Structure 1
């Protein structure tokens, strides 16, 4: 058994904050308070990357959370052609750290490429809590 929630967001700056609010609300309902800060950080980075590099004008991106007995998986899917990679920016660079942060905070992460677009995901070990919404 698993739980799943997703929401679509428009290509707007305010969607990053809205995606943080969305995952926070879902995690609180699921009783996963220990994961809130890490997943909020990761969705901020992934949603920002989707807006800057992945979502073509006039389209949306989708944020999802799936919970199994052992893992919580955060997904951000967009329809753009970008190919995300972990960067190694210079110390004075203003960008390029998002996926590096995600890889450091999450227990696992990756990118699934689709015919149109891709899904960037991060997985987190789930604390013991019942699977009830």
Structure 2
């Protein structure tokens, strides 16, 4: 049976750090730290995108982690009406590379549109036998 943990975050810049901390705590609790840095970076990028493009003022976004065998799925759901950005990054732009970076780090990526909002999710293959130096 898959494990799942979920938390809602307010529409604020500080929530990106809180989302990263949540991801760190959950993956550490599950003993799945072999992809921790990649997953935390993706959590930061997806949370930032939710804030900039998906969460209307006064609303929240939701971060969900699911562990199903060797797969870790990170999902960020917003309540906005803007579709997920899909164009490749402009090489001359100062921003717009986050989703491209997420695509490179994750083993799979997708978007689920809802009546209100969307969920952007990424999946990672995890090898529980790997451990990170300095962890138990």
TM-score (norm 1): 0.93
The aligned residue for residue 132 of structure 2 is none
Q: Distance in 2 between matches of 1:45 and 1:112?
A: 17
The aligned residue for residue 34 of structure 1 is 34
The aligned residue for residue 95 of structure 2 is 95
Asked if structure 2 preserves the Cα contact closer than 8 Å seen for 1:87 and 1:99, the reply is no
For structure 2, the residue ranges without an aligned partner over 5 or more in a row are 130-136
Matched, 1:46 2:43: no
Cα drift, residue 95 of structure 1: 1.0
Moved over 6 A (4+): none
The aligned residue for residue 107 of structure 2 is 107
TM-score (norm 2): 0.91
- 1:1-133 aligned at under 5 Å gives the runs 1-128=1-128
For structure 1, the residue ranges without an aligned partner over 5 or more in a row are none
> Number of matched residues?
129
TM-align CA RMSD: 1.1
